[in-house]
Amino acid sequence: MCPDTAVVGTELEAVVRQAIAEVLMVPPASVRPESALVAELGAESIDFLDLVFHLEEALHKRIPATRWADFVRERLPGGDLGRTITTAVVLEFAEREARAG
């Protein structure tokens, strides 16, 4: 894929699911939209940095380190992050970053 080709839609969803499976070393089939990354799949805080790195590579763009934390604070204020950060939330973040150009 050339650097100026955007990853979007179902392709982006597949990229996010594969990245989560790789980073968390879980079978891809266990990465469902409702999967809680911490509570169900065993993610730790450092894993989210690795996920953002994978998204940077897929989207061919730099994502500032604080952008994920800002997104989580805005999207999931006061929630039990262990249960509310799901595959769908990571996909939402990736879609937002892809649109940001």
Domain locations in the chain? 9-100
Give the contacts of 97 (CB within 8 A, at least 6 positions apart): 55, 59, 61, 63, 67
CATH 3.20.20.80 fits 9-100, yes or no: no
pLDDT tens digits for range 17-68? 999 999 999 999 999 999 999 999 999 999 999 999 999 999 999 999 799 9
Cα(24)–Cα(22) distance, integer angstroms: 6
Instruction: Give the pTM.
Output: 0.88
pLDDT tens digits for range 50-63? 999 999 999 999 99
Return the closest-CA partner of residue 9 out of 67, 86, 94, 101. Answer: 94
